[in-house]
Amino acid sequence: MKLRISLALLALLPLLAMAQLTIKGRVIDSQTGASLQGAHLNLNNRLVKVTTNDKGMFEINGLKAGNYKLKVTFIGYHNWEALFDIKENKTMLISMEQAPILTDETIISSTRANEKTPVAYQNLTAKDISKQDQGRDIPFLLEQMPATVVSSDAGTGVGYTGFRIRGTDMNRINITVNGIPLNDPESHSVFWVNMPDFASSVGSLQVQRGVGTSTNGAAAFGASINLQTATPAPEAYGIITNAAGSFNTWRHTISAGTGLIGGKWALDARLSKISSDGYIDRATSDLKSFYVSGGYYGKGTIVKMNIFSGNEVTYQAWDGIPSDILKTNRTYNGIGMYTDYQGNTKFYENETDNYQQDHYQLMLSQRLAGHLSGSFAIHYTRGSGYYEQFKDDENLEDYLIEPVIVPGSDSLVISESDLIRRKYLDNDFYGFTWSLNYEKEKLNLIMGGSGNRYEGLHFGEVIWAEFAQTAGYNHRWYEGTGDKRDLNLYAKAQYQANRKLNLYADMQLRGLKYELGGKDDDQRDITQSHDFLFFNPKTGLFYELHNKGNIYVSFAIANREPNRDNYTDADPDKPAPVAETLFDYELGYNYINNSIKASANFYYMSYRDQLVLTGAINDVGAAIMTNVPESYRTGLEMSSTLKLNEKLQGSANLTLSSNKIKNFTEFIDDWDNWGSQLENPIGKTDLAFSPGVIAGAEISWSVVKGLEAAINGKYVSRQYIDNTASTDRSLDPYFVSNLRVSWVIEPDFIRGIEVNLNINNLFNTEYETNAWVYRYYSENSYGKLDGYFPQAGINLMAGLTLKL
């Protein structure tokens, strides 16, 4: 029997050999010889290889002998086509000519750093993003970047998420999409939960650490992030992704595009739905989003419109877990808890956050005379939503509701009631951005700016109360407004002084007017007006030591205005908060060869009047932030990528830092003497949420063609959750590791099938990434209220993607 099988296989070998022919080769720029990564190959009108790799290489297997037509497309280049008869394996060098056509990169070039800009930055390409994208928010795409710490309220990366870079939180990080501001003008933050699955529509992103280059919108006070939406594919496509994982997490995404019709027109669209129960009790998320982009791509003109929207419903998990419960119940969530008439503990089912955010962007990029090009965009963002809460035994007068007199009795008065309330935010944000770019030989000049206006309405309504006969339907108990106008103008210049030296200068003028009106939820009048005019200069130089290494040095000044909470929570009996100023010094070195890419960056960020939490409270007991005269962050960031061979490569980064307030005084609320506080002079101390050591590493292995595995690890040292450097109020150091496996196959009947498996927190580490604390003094001892945010233990996410 074995002999017969062997003879049959021998007889089939010639046929098998005929069926397994291969075309492989490289795609390059005809003028420079540079490799073209991301070129699309079409064989006999069937897309058989999505993109060329980072060396421009491609390989098409499983072909039979015969006649073929090969077409190669790449945006910004003329199409390449050839007819040939294949009888044996074939190796090709494909040389493509540049076409006189603008690309999407012109839209964001004015706000991005390039290879000779003297700042610390890192890019993620569409391929990098696709590998890491598993439906979690964008902060988790940045997890392996230097000096970065990410966190999730629900513990899974779905729902409310955030990150810090160099210890700086999101309301000090400038974030733009296609050069258009994304930060909320009042809170200065970005709520990624309002943009679910947006990573699926991002073509690239750049993170600049430190002040970076001038940009539009909120102040870059520790970092800036520039996202560019995806560019159109040369060919029509359709992609269907379905994924499921731990905690009843589901992701469904459908995207499609026309490709470049006639080489000029394109339409792309995406529809997504993500849901999860969350790791934390009742931390559910129900997220929906869509993205539509259409444009005209001419020889000297791009006109593009993006519309994207997100709708989120999440059960609140903002309070965290008290430290005395954390050790026994890591998933506890006390939000929405109440006791019914029978003494049973229950949770209000609709203790949810509900919000929708719609974005509209219309962009024009135009090649002007000679070496001059320009871009102009108008934008509009509409946001509306509320969060709902059940409150028991609330004082009716706090809600402007008259006490209820019990019928038949003139003396029996009900002044407290259970009730359900909603706090609303209704806002409009609109404006324009523009830039002009002149590039010729040794000189690159950029001018640009933006004008934006924000109009926000904050109000609260009681939608039900057990005892509130005097209150009308949806009784409104407070209403406040915010009106902010922001104008900025910048000019940048890069000059190649000689073969090795490149000089850089960047000047920005930013003016703001911020007006608050009405009342806050505690009935305090918040009417006030603030004007700012900031000058933010930057300068530096870039020097090539040799053909594989370079150094840079830079200095920058940034200014940041206080946000809404800094004003509304400020103690009226004390000086109002003032703007913060940052002096940023950077010194870096880069080295690159065929197998190693390494960089090191030293920074010193000196702050004047930085706003920090001190433990102080205002006249109604709300925690406030206070300006401290002097503080700083200094550190060394190192990162490297090593390609061991064609199948195995690794990367690593390490950040060592020291982050201090030079002279700090803690304020502690005295409960025995309400309205007074104890002062605790500490002197020099650590800044909160600023770990001294952050390290990351990843190893990826291309096991066989189409099958890739990667394992990474992240270490974060101790983080203090207030500015007292007390281990009793800190996050323990942690190390967490994740495993990613992907398998791509390309059968004849479909463009591609991809199977993904992600195992997060591979070693089931118990760790927390965020927390808050409030200290008080009562009955001759100190106490605290706090909340910690634990992340999920080992959890899985598996997905199937069909590329049509």
| pLDDT tens-digit series, residues 120-149 | 999 998 888 988 888 888 999 999 999 999
Report the C-alpha dihedral over residues 164, 775, 628, 168, rounded to 10 degrees.
Answer: 0
- The pLDDT-based confidence of 565 (bands split at 50, 70, 90) is very high
Q: How far apart are CA 703 and CA 695, in angstroms?
A: 26
| pLDDT tens-digit series, residues 570-594 | 877 778 899 999 999 999 999 988 7
Are the C-beta atoms of residues 480 and 516 closer than 8 Å to each other?
A: yes
What residues contact 80, with CB distance under 8 A and at least 6 apart? 71, 72, 73, 94, 95, 96
Name the residue among 276, 160, 171, 180 with its Cα closest to residue 226: 180
CB atoms within 10 A of CB 71: 17
Average pLDDT over residues 679-687: 95
Lowest mean pLDDT among 364-373, 466-475, 720-729: 466-475
Give the type of residue at 338.
Y
Are the C-beta atoms of residues 435 and 466 closer than 8 Å to each other?
A: no
Average pLDDT over residues 106-118: 85
- The pLDDT-based confidence of 9 (bands split at 50, 70, 90) is very low
Given this model, what pLDDT does residue 616 score? 61
Residue 428 in tokens:
């409009």
| pLDDT tens-digit series, residues 532-542 | 999 999 999 99
Q: Are strands 768-778 and 623-643 parallel, antiparallel or unpaired?
A: unpaired
Judged by DSSP in three states, 50 sits in coil
Average pLDDT over residues 511-520: 97
Are the C-beta atoms of residues 446 and 433 closer than 8 Å to each other?
A: no
| pLDDT tens-digit series, residues 754-778 | 999 999 999 999 999 999 999 999 9
219 phi and psi, to 5 degrees?
-65, 140
* Portion of the chain with pLDDT greater than 90, in percent: 71
Lowest mean pLDDT among 305-314, 341-350, 418-427, 558-567: 341-350
Does an H or E element contain 12, and which?
helix 2-19
| pLDDT tens-digit series, residues 291-343 | 999 999 988 899 999 999 999 999 999 999 999 999 999 999 999 999 888 88
Give the type of residue at 306.
N
Average pLDDT over residues 175-193: 96
Q: Are strands 46-49 and 40-43 parallel, antiparallel or unpaired?
A: antiparallel
Given this model, what pLDDT does residue 14 score? 43
More confident residue, 715 or 675: 715
Res 101 pLDDT > 80: no
Q: How far apart are CA 701 and CA 642, in angstroms?
A: 12
Average pLDDT over residues 613-638: 79
More confident residue, 73 or 123: 123
Q: How far apart are CA 695 and CA 145, in angstroms?
A: 9
| pLDDT tens-digit series, residues 76-99 | 677 788 888 888 888 889 998 876
Name the residue among 482, 432, 480, 430 with its Cα closest to residue 455: 482
474 phi and psi, to 5 degrees?
50, 55
Q: How far apart are CA 167 and CA 770, in angstroms?
A: 12
Given this model, what pLDDT does residue 140 score? 93
Given this model, what pLDDT does residue 549 score? 93
759 phi and psi, to 5 degrees?
-110, 105
Res 5 pLDDT > 60: no
More confident residue, 613 or 712: 712
The end-to-end CA distance of the chain, in Å, is: 43
Given this model, what pLDDT does residue 73 score? 80
Lowest mean pLDDT among 61-75, 111-125, 166-180, 467-481: 61-75
Name the residue among 491, 506, 593 with its Cα closest to residue 541: 506
CB atoms within 10 A of CB 166: 26
- The pLDDT-based confidence of 53 (bands split at 50, 70, 90) is confident
Report the C-alpha dihedral over residues 439, 440, 442, 448, rounded to 10 degrees.
Answer: -20
CA distances from 69 to 82, 173, 513, 746 (A): 6, 49, 61, 18
- The pLDDT-based confidence of 629 (bands split at 50, 70, 90) is very high
Does an H or E element contain 425, and which?
strand 416-440
More confident residue, 17 or 730: 730
Given this model, what pLDDT does residue 10 score? 41
| pLDDT tens-digit series, residues 148-158 | 999 999 999 99
Helical H segments across 563-703, by residue range: 564-568
Q: Which residues pair with residue 387 across a beta bridge? A: 353, 423
Radius of gyration in angstroms for the set of CA atoms belonging to the chain, rounded to a whole number: 29
| pLDDT tens-digit series, residues 724-733 | 999 999 999 9
Given this model, what pLDDT does residue 87 score? 84
Are the C-beta atoms of residues 587 and 601 closer than 8 Å to each other?
A: yes
User: Among all chains, which residue has been given the structure tokens 């699926």?
Assistant: 200
Given this model, what pLDDT does residue 15 score? 41
Q: Are strands 352-367 and 345-347 parallel, antiparallel or unpaired?
A: unpaired
- The pLDDT-based confidence of 458 (bands split at 50, 70, 90) is very high
Given this model, what pLDDT does residue 130 score? 87
Lowest mean pLDDT among 61-70, 166-175, 391-400: 61-70
The dihedral through the CA atoms of 47, 49, 51, 57 has a sign that is: negative
Name the residue among 742, 719, 749, 724 with its Cα closest to residue 797: 742
Give DSSP secondary structure letters for 453-482: EEEEEEEEEEEEESS-TTS-TTEEEEEEEE
Given this model, what pLDDT does residue 281 score? 97
CA distances from 584 to 121, 225, 557, 719 (A): 15, 17, 6, 23
Res 706 pLDDT > 50: yes
Judged by DSSP in three states, 321 sits in strand
Residue 223 in tokens:
């970092």
Q: How far apart are CA 512 and CA 361, in angstroms?
A: 23
Res 54 pLDDT > 90: no
Average pLDDT, the chain: 90
Helical H segments across 477-608, by residue range: 564-568
CA angle, residues 519, 521, 522, in degrees to nearest 5: 90
CA distances from 199 to 218, 274, 744 (A): 22, 13, 20
Res 399 pLDDT > 70: yes
Given this model, what pLDDT does residue 12 score? 39
Are the C-beta atoms of residues 53 and 59 closer than 8 Å to each other?
A: no
Average pLDDT over residues 404-426: 86
Report the C-alpha dihedral over residues 356, 358, 359, 360, rounded to 10 degrees.
Answer: -170
